[in-house]
Amino acid sequence: LEEDNEINMISPCECRGSVEFVHERCLQHWFEVMHTRRCQICKTEYELEDRGMKPYTEWTLPAPLSDDWEDQLDFKCALFWLVFMSRITYVVLK
């Protein structure tokens, strides 16, 4: 492979040692050829992330990073600023 570096290597199952890591693209190709999503060695079913957008029904509202009061305050101020600036922009462009 032209991009043979650690960034493209994943550990998709319970296997360890020399068979632990695989290129993500190689694994995708293996899925297409073998028509299975289970490791032939350890029998673990692969859980792959879809890197596209979630369906609209799975969207959630934004939330603060933590329950810490500073994060809560930052979140509320940012939300207020966003609404305020949206309103100002609407009035100016109207």
∠ CA(68), CA(73), CA(75), 5° rounding? 95
- With beta carbons less than 8 A apart as the criterion, state whether 15 and 38 touch: no
If asked whether residues 38 and 3 sit together in one domain, one would say yes
Residues 84 and 41 in one domain: no
Residue 39: which CATH number?
3.30.40.10
pLDDT band at 86 (very low <50, low <70, confident <90, very high): very high
pTM for the model stands at: 0.43
Share of the chain above pLDDT 70, in %: 88
- What is the predicted pLDDT for the residue at 82? 95
For 17-57, write each residue's pLDDT tens digit.
Answer: 988 999 988 888 888 888 888 898 999 888 766 667 777 78
Decide the pairing of beta strands 9-10 and 22-23. antiparallel
- Whether 10 and 40 share a structural domain: yes
Give the structural domain span for 89: 62-94
